[in-house]
Structure 1
């Protein structure tokens, strides 16, 4: 049972998972990606008991042509995400107070605590940055609220960020909009939001909305990540990140094996042809590979 389940899981990661990369090698150092994939593997190992059960005895074969077609497409997508992020930063005069590098680090950190990829968060950031009233400490708080809301409601984190950004941009109007979606705000809260806005304290008015969102959704993204399925999604996302860094597939393979519980002296045999890569762990007796 363990072997068949492990085979199925590795097959899911290697063959169906895809290669969605939020950032290119120019944006994030390979070491950061390696650290994230190691942490994600540890999460999966903790949920399962041992990631070795996922890998040992598994056989995965996939077409290099299919892998790299997807790899190239998602690399293009990642470049576009970064281009849009930088464009909105320039258009808004960096009103939120964060650089592109800081936003990328924020996306990576939030991805590690959710089932959303860094690319998902990058797209959400781009949408949220368009609302120039969301700045400073309220920006990451709003982004986290978007991740929790998206997890609970089944929407995308970008769509949730759009909804939250609209509500926060003019809080007194946002309270009315959210009330139509089922959120309950007292008349005192509405009056308080208007009072804060009248004296230029928009952050405090936004806090009323963020408090309500957190009361409803806080912790949803992390709870989803802390399941077995969430850990495996996180591992896939980290593999996707690593595949666009220096070292590519060989580096990803090395790190996965190092975290899997397989002996360091027993790497899986990898054979390459122009069309097909086959990953076949060998049988072991007394510490040696047997044909």
Structure 2
């Protein structure tokens, strides 16, 4: 049975700013469907802002604009490099129903000539994760990851925290030694990356932070022997459940590098051994 369209006036949601992540992904309504954001340099890798962080900002705006709050599936195309500072997000509601709603959003920044440049364009379907059935039939299994206390922190770099990406200071990442050979000059060439993900200030995971988690680990290209960060062309995330409290396990793999592009498939598992998010992105070398 398809959803019948419904018309409703939805009061703006108020998101309490309780953590650095909430503060840095906050949006403010300028007018119906249009939101202002101030993108934080704290989520940069080199000069570029992380694609997962930016997706979380856009997802928060869509969660304000649509009658449903949780992203079920969200796809982003990264058009031009996004920089820290002010941005405008313009949303458009394509359809609303009883159980799901669909909309799009674009993130724009000033171009320095009195105009605007679109940086990212998103299409997403939202619903209520709490209302989903608890029937799970899966052949997927949690990844085998070294215990958290035996994994490497990016901030353990021998040259100090100034030698790690700015974003690493926002996160409590622990990289599995089995996928850390690249850091020692001995990549495995298997195209795998595994690790534990949490926010450094202790904020518990939620659907929005899952969008950051899928893009937070070092690129699998490092374990293929590549150097340098790989810009994201497109990223699609499926959020499957609200995560339980505690650190998340993230596994990312790539099977095909060709023509200067590679795919990365990510799975995110919560502390209750549930597969809470899946993603695929296309990145260029």
Structure showing greater radius of gyration is 1
More strand by share: 2
TM-score bracket, normalised by the shorter chain, equals: under 0.3
* TM-score, structure 1 as length reference: 0.24
Q: Which has the higher contact order (CA 8 A, sep 6+)?
A: 1
* TM-score, structure 2 as length reference: 0.24
